[in-house]
Amino acid sequence: MTQPLSDSAIDPHLRDKVYEQDYSPKPAIAGIKILKIKNFVGENGDFSELLRMNESGEAEQLVGFRVRQINRSKQYNKAIKAWHLHYNQDEVWYVPPDEHLLLGLWDVREGSETKGITQKIPLGGGNSIAVYIPRGVAHGAANFSGKKANVYYFVNNQFNPDNPDEHRLPWDAAGKEFWEAPKE
């Protein structure tokens, strides 16, 4: 039977570089909701029910959220599309399980209990989830997957080009390192 090691068993030139992985929960932004999507896989393909609406047109998973428009955006490999936020719109983002994007979130709401917190949520990549993003939370995405990825997003206000609710921050406003792929 093998005995446990200690730091003294590691190459002295590397000892001070060894660290333990942090598995503690990361801070979550208030109001962000992760919705589990059932993905039914069969012999001939798969099926996902993205949002179920009640008789009033409200998303059953999100009380008070009524879809007014459904959009799709394609993001190319190595592209970073950030930061933007809405003052009058909430939205739900979804990336199919066979594609992959890193969703970036940043709470810039004055008075929010999580003001200043950033959060990263992988979308797709074998998972089938959707993410609810409340108004005032800046968001964007980075594509490190090596292929194009589609984002389907459901919004509770229709886009009006004469009065767009699209407010921007520089892509690196939270620091350039936020959008870098982890190097572990």
Quick check: is 162 in a domain? Answer: yes
Residue 59, in any domain of the structure? yes
What pLDDT is attached to residue 1? 67
How far is Cα 135 from Cα 142, in angstroms, rounded to an integer? 20
Query: Is 58 among the domain residues?
Result: yes
Domain total in the chain = 1
Q: What is the mean pLDDT of residues 159-164?
A: 95
How is the chain split among helix, strand and coil, in percent rounded to 5?
5, 35, 60
Mean of the per-residue pLDDT values of the chain: 94
Domain annotation covers residue 9: no
Percent of the chain with pLDDT over 70: 99
Q: What is the pTM of this model?
A: 0.89
Pairing relationship of beta strands 69-75 and 45-48 according to DSSP bridges:
unpaired
pLDDT digits (tens, 9 = 90+) for 35-93: 999 888 899 998 999 999 999 989 999 999 999 999 999 999 999 999 999 999 999 99
CATH number of the domain to which 49 belongs: 2.60.120.10
The DSSP-derived string for 7-51 is: GGGS-TTTGGG------SPPP--TT-EEEE--EEEETTEEEE---
Nearest Cα residue to 122 out of 159, 94, 81, 89: 94
Supply the range of the domain harboring residue 41.
31-172
68 lies in a domain?
yes
